[in-house]
Amino acid sequence: KAGVTQTPRYLIKTRGQQVTLSCSPISGHRSVSWYQQTPGQGLQFLFEYFSETQRNKGNFPGRFSGRQFSNSRSEMNVSTLELGDSALYLCATGGGNTGELFFGEGSRLTVL
Amino acid sequence: DQQVKQNSPSLSVQEGRISILNCDYTNSMFDYFLWYKKYPAEGPTFLISISSIKDKNEDGRFTVFLNKSAKHLSLHIVPSQPGDSAVYFCAASVISKAAGNKLTFGGGTRVLVKP
């Protein structure tokens, strides 16, 4: 079955702009989580959506937001971009009894 | 508050030898511990996991050991192969409706396997 699909794979923005990233989960998976990976901070949890509702949220400012649609696809948005937002943004689905997540290949955001 | 820590940022090992990666945690509520492998510009891929009620889990060349009293786990790769060169992340989860599917990750250990 198809894996987790993230678009776009790479993008470049300038400070102050906003960006929207998209994630299509594995078919049948209703949970979508987002993570940010930076060299200094490692992999950090942003938020999780389940059945169109935010179920859990990490410690990020309100500029980071997300949503989930009825087909389980999810988007995350970052407004008023800062240089420090440059990172690999990863989407994941799964969980279940062990917490195992399946990750997409990520969207590499560069903020200039 | 870093609940999951990998204190060794890098590890170099000869092909055929054992790679040992270590991870420490502070939250005694974690139910499962997982190891992920990551290549550059790709998402992490799941390697192996262990329940908090077990002390060892083995899958082929990969074995994870859990010492709950020390809040420590380790991943052994035997024998190490050049294709194992990647960044390895330790992660932990609390299985509950409230916690959802959140994984808490360590900072990663970069492994280089020399031919």
What is the token pair recorded at B85? 């060169």
Under 8 Å CB pairs connecting chains A and B tally to: 81
B34, B93, B101 member nearest A31 (Cβ)? B101
- B109 confidence band (pLDDT: 50, 70, 90): very high
In chain B, which residues have their Cβ closer than 8 Å to the Cβ of A25? Answer: none
Mean pLDDT of all residues belonging to chain B: 93
Beta strands in chain B (DSSP E): 4-5, 10-14, 19-25, 32-38, 45-51, 56-59, 62-67, 72-77, 86-93, 103-105, 109-114
* pLDDT at position B77 over 80: yes
Which residue type is seen at B83?
G
pLDDT attached to residue B1: 64
What confidence tens digit (pLDDT) does each residue in B51-72 have?
A: 999 999 999 999 999 999 999 9
Q: Is A103 helix (H, G, I), strand (E, B) or coil?
A: strand
Task: Identify how many contiguous H helices and E strands chain A contains and give both numbers.
Answer: 0, 11
Q: Does residue B84 sit in helix, strand or coil?
A: helix
Range 17-46 of A in CB contact (< 8 A) with B: 31, 33, 35, 42-45
Chain B nearest-CA distance from A49, in A, is: 9
Interchain contact, A98 vs B104, CB within 8 Å: no
Please answer yes or no on whether A94 and B100 come within 8 Å at the CB atom.
Answer: no
Q: How many angstroms separate the CA of residue A55 from the nearest CA in chain B? A: 7
Do residues B73 and B90 lie in contact, with contact meaning Cβ atoms separated by under 8 Å? yes
| The pLDDT value given to residue A94 | 85
Q: Which of B13, B36, B41 is nearest to B23 (CA)?
A: B36
Close Cβ partners of B47 (under 8 Å, ≥ 6 residues apart): B34, B35, B36, B37, B59, B62, B75, B88
Q: Nearest CA to CA, how far is A18 from chain B (Å)?
A: 22
Q: Give the chain B residue whose CA is nearest to the CA of A5.
A: B43
- Residue B112 binned pLDDT confidence (cut-offs 50, 70, 90): very high
Does the beta-carbon distance from A56 to B45 stay under 8 Å?
no
Query: Nearest chain A Cα to B97, which residue?
Result: A55
Do B45 and A106 contact (CB within 8 A), yes or no? no
**Count of CB atoms within 10 A of residue A35's CB?**
26
Cis amide prior to B44 (ω within 30 degrees): no
- Tens-digit pLDDT string for chain A (112 aa): 568 999 999 999 999 999 999 999 988 888 999 999 998 778 999 999 999 999 889 999 999 999 999 999 999 999 999 999 999 999 999 866 777 899 999 999 999 9
- The span from the CA of A86 to the CA of B64, in Å, is 33
